[in-house]
Amino acid sequence: MTGNDLNIAPTFILGDAVPDPEPSPELQRRLAIRRSAPAQALATPGPDRDQLTDILRLGARSPDHGKMTPWRFVVLGPQSRADIAEKLAAYATASDMPAKAVAVLAKLTAAPVSILVVSTAREGAKPVWEQELSAGAVCMNLEHAASAHGFATSWITDWYSYDAEAAALFGVRTGEKVAGFIHIGTSPDPLLERERPDLTALTEWRD
Ligand SMILES: Cc1cc2nc3c(=O)[nH]c(=O)nc-3n(C[C@H](O)[C@H](O)[C@H](O)COP(=O)(O)O)c2cc1C
């Protein structure tokens, strides 16, 4: 194991015994305070290259039935997103609701950095559904990792994730799907708690 620095999570190599998890009030608190930010408001500072590398590494430490690694990352800085948004705006004007389709592009371009998580699920040893869940777990872990580095996040899909021609601009290939754009930055405003589900109605307890 390496990396005991307070700012760097430890690294393990194949076969290392990972430590038993100790109770972590800090992690509990962190999970309790995480809240999505409005993507269009995300501003600098964002993670630097080292922080981003660590966020990707932690995000990739997600459950994966069959070790198929059914996802990949595209890290998008502001310039590439601005360039793509310009092209998307042209597609948007040909859509049913051009004004809305253009307006949501503000969510794509605002953050200092965005990680596109591409689901590469394919027919194979494990069900496609499970592979897609794994890509979702990666998205969620990226959000937690970014939060642990002190940043706010927003998980966005929007219309261009579901339009093959539009998604191709980000490098999404035939047969792949967008699991999400994880936009990372700093929220200028406090994030207000949203309504949360009533767990009594959603949870069945059995002996
Ligand atoms: C798979 C997925 C896709 C989402 N896509 C969008 C989106 O396209 N536009 C948007 O404004 N928010 C999107 N969201 C964010 C949610 O609408 C919402 O902001 C978020 O779940 C807030 O909950 P939280 O504060 O607990 O994170 C998406 C969330 C998920 C999980």
Ordered DSSP codes for 133-165? HHHHHHHHHHHHHHHHTT-EEEEE--GGGS-HH
Say how far apart CA 163 and CA 91 lie, in whole Å: 10
Distance of CA 155 from the midpoint of ligand 1 (Å): 5
Q: Whose structure tokens read 């459950």?
A: 63
Alpha carbon of residue 128 to chain centroid: 20
Per-residue model confidence as pLDDT tens digits over 34-52: 999 999 999 999 999 999 9
Q: Which ligand 1 atom sits nearest the alpha carbon of residue 191?
A: 25
Distance 100 CA to ligand 1 centre (A): 17
* Predicted confidence (pLDDT) at residue 99 exceeds the cutoff of 80: yes
Q: What is the mean pLDDT of residues 134-138?
A: 98
Residue to mutate, 115, 155, 178, ligand 1, most ligand atoms under 8 Å from C-beta:
155
- Coil, helix or strand at residue 196: coil
Q: What distance in angstroms lies between residue 107's CA and the mean position of ligand 1's atoms?
A: 11
* pLDDT given for residue 94 in this prediction: 84
Residue 4: what pLDDT?
A: 45
Residue 1 confidence (pLDDT): 46
Q: Which helix (H) or strand (E) holds 75?
A: strand 71-76
69 lines ligand 1 (CB under 6 A): no
Residue 95 alpha carbon to ligand 1 centre in Å: 22
CA of 4 to the centre of ligand 1 (A): 33
pLDDT at 96: 84
Please tell me if the CB atom of residue 180 comes closer than 6 angstroms to any atom of ligand 1. Answer: yes
Q: Is the Cβ atom of 156 under 6 angstroms away from ligand 1?
A: yes
Q: Which residue has the tokens 């970014």?
A: 146
Element (H, E) at 115: strand 113-119
For residues 9-35, average pLDDT: 93
Global pTM reads: 0.95
Q: What percent of the chain has pLDDT over 90?
A: 91
Q: How many CB atoms lie within 10 A of CB 61?
A: 14
Domain segments of the chain as ranges: 35-188
Of 3.20.20.70, 3.40.50.2000, 3.10.20.90, 3.40.109.10, the CATH number of 35-188 is: 3.40.109.10
> Over the stretch 143-184, which tens digit does the pLDDT of each residue have?
999 999 999 999 999 999 999 999 999 999 999 999 999 999
- 157 touches ligand 1 (CB under 6 Å): yes
**Average pLDDT of span 135-139:** 98
Band (pLDDT 50/70/90 cuts) for residue 7 is low
144 ligand 1 Cβ < 6 A: no
